[in-house]
Amino acid sequence: MKKYRLKDGKIMIVREGNGKDADRVLQYIKRVACESDNLTFGEGEFNTTLEEEVRFIEECRKSKNSLFLIAEYRGEIISCLTFSGGNRSRIKHYGEFGITVLKKYWGLGVGKTLINCLIKWAKDSGIIRKINLKVKADNTKAIALYTKLGFVKEGAISRFFYHKGEFHDVYVMGLEID
């Protein structure tokens, strides 16, 4: 567990999740689902059960090449980051992550801090050599953040999203860990 000062002076806690967090994580995900169109799910579309979520978080905790990070402010979950490493020997050094921040905490440095924690964890892991992500091509704020942290655009996938009658492309961005 580590403490970080946000741009407005609030002190947030960043720690690895465990199975006991699953219920609160699901409540948190239901909230962020309603706050942007940038995720693969919207309101009411994240249907993971409590048992599945407990299993997922615990698997991340036990795995050497996966990570489930939680940021809290005064006991409230304000951000989650999940990184899933490959499950076969040829791809165990590779993984993808996703991140969300509760809307009222946007712009305070939460996202940047969690991704920096991920990069540090990856460097210390001795396993991870590549971090990738997919980001909606119009999510300029997230792209600016990833670019600032060293991620580069490696390609694009057309029609990745289908939402409100329209297709949306994503960029694939990556960071090599050496």
Ligand X SMILES: CC(C)(COP(=O)(O)OP(=O)(O)OC[C@H]1O[C@@H](n2cnc3c(N)ncnc32)[C@H](O)[C@@H]1OP(=O)(O)O)[C@@H](O)C(=O)NCCC(=O)NCCS
Report, in Å, the least distance between residue 152 CB and ligand X.
15
Rounded to a whole number of angstroms, the minimum distance from the CB of residue 88 to ligand X is 25
Residue nearest to ligand X (CB): 111
Select the span of 53-61, 117-125, 133-141, 159-167 touching ligand X (CB under 6 A): 133-141
100 near ligand X, rule: CB under 6 A: yes
Residues of this chain, 28-57, that bind ligand X according to CB under 6 A: 36, 38-39
CA–CA gap between residue 57 and residue 63 (Å, rounded) = 10
Q: Which stretch binds ligand X (CB under 6 A): 20-28, 88-96, 134-142, 156-164?
A: 134-142
Q: Is 108 in the site for ligand X (CB under 6 A)?
A: yes
CA angle 160, 83, 44 (to 5 degrees): 55
Q: Got the DSSP string for 73-131? A: ETTEEEEEEEEEE-SSGGGTTEEEEEEEE-GGGTTSSHHHHHHHHHHHHHHHHSS--EE
Which tokens go with 64? 């050497």
Q: Which stretch binds ligand X (CB under 6 A): 97-105, 118-126, 150-158, 160-168?
A: 97-105
- Token pair for residue 35? 């706050």
Kindly state whether residue 118 participates in binding ligand X, applying the rule CB under 6 A. Answer: no
Question: Is 173 an interacting residue with respect to ligand X (CB under 6 A)?
Answer: no
Distance of alpha carbon 169 from alpha carbon 54, whole angstroms: 32
Q: How far is the CB of 98 from ligand X (least distance, A)?
A: 6
144 versus 156: smaller Cβ distance to ligand X: 144
Cα distance between residue 25 and residue 80, in whole Å: 8
d(CA 102, CA 50): 21
* One of 5, 64, 141, 163 touching ligand X (CB under 6 A): 141
Angle between helices 140-148 and 110-125 (to 10 degrees): 40
Applying CB under 6 A, does 137 fall inside the site for ligand X?
Answer: no
| Interface residue list for ligand X (CB under 6 A) | 36, 38-39, 99-101, 106-112, 133, 135, 139-142, 144-145, 148
